[in-house]
Amino acid sequence: MKLRIYKDSVRLRLSQADIAQFAATGSVRDVIDFAPGAHFSYALESASFVDRVRASYSAGALRILVPPQLADQWSRSDEVAIRSNGDSPSLLIEKDFKCLHRETDQESDDADAFPNPLAADYAG
C-alpha cells in the first residue's frame, strides 16, 4: 500500500494483494520504522461504526475508516476509487495501476499493480 500526504489530503493506493487482504480481513496496514520504538503506521479499515469515509489519528497511527458496505462494494468491483465527501483531510483511496511512463529497463515496483486501462495491451 502506498501513502501520499500533501497539504490537507491523504491518498492510499492499494495493489492487488492489498485489495485481496482488505476484502478478506477488512484491514490492510503498513508500518514505517524510524528508530527503535519510533514508528508510524497507516491502515485502511472497514469499520461498522462509521457511516462515511473518515480519518483517525492517534499515537503514531493513521487509520482510514470505510463503512463495510462501501468497502465490500469497492474491493469486489471495477470501481477505481473511494473519496471522502468534503471532510478534512480530503481522503482518496485508489486501486494502484501499473505505471505507463516507466523506462522498460527500470526495476518495477508495481508488479502487483492492476493492469492500466490506458495501456495499449490492456485486454480488460
Nearest-5° Cα angle at 48, 55 to 23: 85
H/E run at residue 85: none
The residues near 5 (Cβ < 8 Å, ≥ 6 apart) are 11
3-state DSSP assignment of residue 70: helix
Q: Where are the domains of the chain?
A: 2-95
Helix, strand, coil percentages for the chain (3-state, nearest 5) = 15, 40, 45
Domain at 2-95: CATH code: 3.30.1360
Query: pLDDT digit string (tens) for 56-104?
Result: 999 999 999 999 999 999 999 989 899 997 778 999 999 987 665 655 4
Query: pLDDT digit string (tens) for 104-116?
Result: 444 456 666 666 6
User: Which grid cell is 62?
Assistant: 493513521
The pTM for the full model equals 0.79
